[in-house]
Structure 1
Amino acid sequence: MTLKGQDQLIERLLEGFTIIDLSSNRFSGSIPPLIGNLNFLKYLNLSHNNLTGNIPSSLANMSALESLDLSSNNLVGVIPNEMTRLTFLSKLNLSMNHLVGRIPQSNQFSTFENDSYVGNLGLCGVPLTRKCKEKARPKEEEKEEEEDEFIDGFGWKSVVIGYGCGVIVGIGMGCWIIRYEKPRWLVEFFFGVGYNNKKKRRRIRATPTPRRR
């Protein structure tokens, strides 16, 4: 690196940098996770290169970052949710990559428009018009849920139906037993042994005897 007219070999990234612009080169490979150690960096531009791999979640450690441009590369994977911690971020450009998944919506990410993500056919969610598909639940969970619903539904429905039918059948049987006094064993079970004989005797006693002339 040329500093003050002299070429100097930089063996490591200087943490005191506030602006790094390495755009429009032929850099390849992945973004090193150690870039997150640049705590004072405010502007980072790595656009128009051949960078591959995922966006490192360590970028969330760059708490002072105000502008991030990773556009026109070959980055893949999802946008790390950890990046929503960049509360000073006012400019974001992730366009023209191969990113996928739902776009984070917390904090500053809720303010970025469609231009920040254009060209990533796998991204979905606000502000894009492409809606995210809900993840299909495992068949085992769906089966367990259906079984639980069946058991719950069968439980209260069976109680109500059984109770209603029992009341109707009980009333009907009671009326039939009282009226016809059959079956005899059931009458004797509820009213006591010898009930029919006692009732017949009462009827005989209650019958008036004819008067003699």
Structure 2
Amino acid sequence: MFDYHPQLLRLDLGGCQLSGKILKSLFKCRELQYIFLDYNYLEGTVPLEISNLTSLKVFTIGENNFSGQIPSSLCNLSSLMLLYLSNNSLDGTIPECIGNLSSSLSHLNLRMNNFHGKIPENFAEGCSFISFLISNNQVEGSLPRSLGNCKDLKLLDVGNNYLNATFPNWLGNLNQLQVLDLRSNRFYGKVDSSDVTFTRLRVIDLSRNNFSGYLPVNFFENLHAIREVNEKKVKPEYMIEEVASGTIYIELGLSFTTKGLETEFEKLLTIWTAIDFSSNQFSGEIPKTIGELHSLIALNLSHNCLTGPIPSSLGDLSELESLDLSSNKLHGRIPTEFTNLGFLEVLNLSHNNLVGPIPHGKQLDTFSNDSYIGNLGLCGLPLSKSCDNDEGTPAKFDRDDDEDGLNWKFLY
């Protein structure tokens, strides 16, 4: 597949439908600095001879069929800045020596492989990581505290693994952090952020863990990047980074549950903001201060044990497009302030204890009864049950328990 060209500096064959293995002759090109072989059908192992390319800065072989372990010889590449091995069938542990590269390596993507064991714990002072993506593997243990040495870290994605620890509140000291994805692990306990601030965090996904306790008021108060109203852009802007090969889009492959669907983002808009705390064991009331996150686009607090009323302050989330509060124990009425949510595309309040008439107007008139089912005290369109007077007071219910089960009857 490759001929020997000793002066070759850059090899860009991404998305060329290549198959077979990487020929060993490639690693005789000792001046080579950039290798782009992603989105092909290449197979085999990562050759040990990669250590011959001492000038290599970028190595991307994502979206192929590579297998086997990461050779420790790769850690000899002291100039390496970007390493993408995502979406392959690589296995074994993540080499401990990866931490030795952290003074030069700025982007690491090991997503969608079969890595197991623990995350290396030796990230050095002055760590250069900007993005660290290892989701969809079988990694266990906890997040190493030495990641706190990576002061420029913007994206941390460790979702869909077997991590088992309390909330790593020390991440709040990384004042460049913008995206934090801990979803689908075994994290547990309270989310305590009283001593730290996530001032630039715009996307946080803690869903499908075992977090408990009250929703952290201080945490939401310190999300300054979401509290500020985003400036409208003439055209979309994506998160980009400068590497030695020029300006690149940060390749994410992050998945979020938004607008009721699992959506994967290969690139992330700079204005995208989302909070997903769903499928945990959070209790207590929804903090009113969430209504001050004026640029929030997606909020998912579903499948928890939340109680109390829905704060009317959520009607102040003028940019909100998706709101899911389903499968909790919320009670009271749906705030009429929800009619102010002019961009709302998805609303799910189902399976709570809400009562009273469903407000109408603007976006609220576009939702079907699926948004409200499982709330026996609600009335009015789009539900089939009408409210019983001009004030919109719903009919009251009582029940008789008999041998046939529960028989609901109207009380007027």
Pairing of 1:34-49 with structure 2 (within 5 A): 34-49=289-304
Partner of 2:326: 71
Distance in structure 2 (CA, Å) of the matches to 1:84 and 1:40: 17
The answer as to 2:171 corresponding to 1:7 is yes
TM-score where L is the length of structure 2: 0.32
CA distance in 2, matches of 1:65, 1:19: 9
TM-score w.r.t. length of structure 1: 0.60
Instruction: Tell me the CA shift for residue 12 of structure 1.
Output: 3.4
| Residue matched to 1:110 | 365
Q: Which amino acid in 2 is paired with 1:39?
A: H
Give the alignment of 1:1-213 within 5 angstroms. Answer: 4=155, 7-8=171-172, 9-10=196-197, 11-13=218-220, 14-17=223-226, 18-134=273-389
Structure 1 unaligned blocks of 5 or more: 137-213
- What does the per-residue CA deviation read over 1:49-88, in whole Å, with 9 as the maximum and x for residues that have no partner? 0000000000011100000000000000000001100000
Residue type of the alignment partner of 1:119: G
Deviations 1:75-117 (A, max 9, x none): 0000000110000001000000000000011110000001000
**DSSP-derived class of the 2:330 partner:** strand
Q: Distance in 2 between matches of 1:116 and 1:128?
A: 10
What residue is the counterpart of 1:196 in the other structure?
A: none
Question: Equivalent residue of 1:68, what SS?
Answer: strand
Counterpart CA distance in 1 for 2:357 and 2:289 is: 25
Deviation, structure 1 residue 40: 0.6
Q: Deviations over 1:129-151 (max 9, x none)?
A: 00101168xxxxxxxxxxxxxxx
2:299 and 2:292 mapped to 1: Cα distance?
Answer: 13
Structure 2 residue matching 1:16: 3-state secondary structure: helix
Does the CA contact (< 8 Å) of 1:26 and 1:49 recur in 2?
yes
Q: How many residues align?
A: 136
The structure where helix makes up a greater share of residues is 1
**CA shift at 1:16, angstroms?**
2.1
CA–CA distance in structure 2, aligned partners of residues 15 and 90 of structure 1 = 25
Give the number of the structure whose residues are more often strand, by fraction: 2
Structure with greater contact order relative to length (CA < 8 Å, sep ≥ 6): 1
**Residue ranges of structure 2 left out of the alignment (5+ in a row):** 1-142, 148-152, 157-169, 173-195, 198-217, 227-272, 392-412
Residue 209 of structure 1: aligned partner: none
Instruction: Give 3-state SS (helix, strand or coil) of 2:334's partner.
Output: coil
Between the aligned partners of 1:78 and 1:128, the Cα distance in structure 2 is 15
Q: Distance in 1 between matches of 2:171 and 2:275?
A: 18
Q: Report the 3-state secondary structure (helix = DSSP H, G, I; strand = E; otherwise coil) of the residue aligned with 1:28.
A: strand
Q: Is the 8 A contact 1:15 1:37 kept in 2?
A: no
Structure possessing the higher radius of gyration over alpha carbons: 1
Contact 1:16 1:41 in 2 (8 A): no
Shift of 1:15: 3.5
Q: Distance between the aligned counterparts of 2:275 and 2:324, measured in 1?
A: 11
Identity %: 57
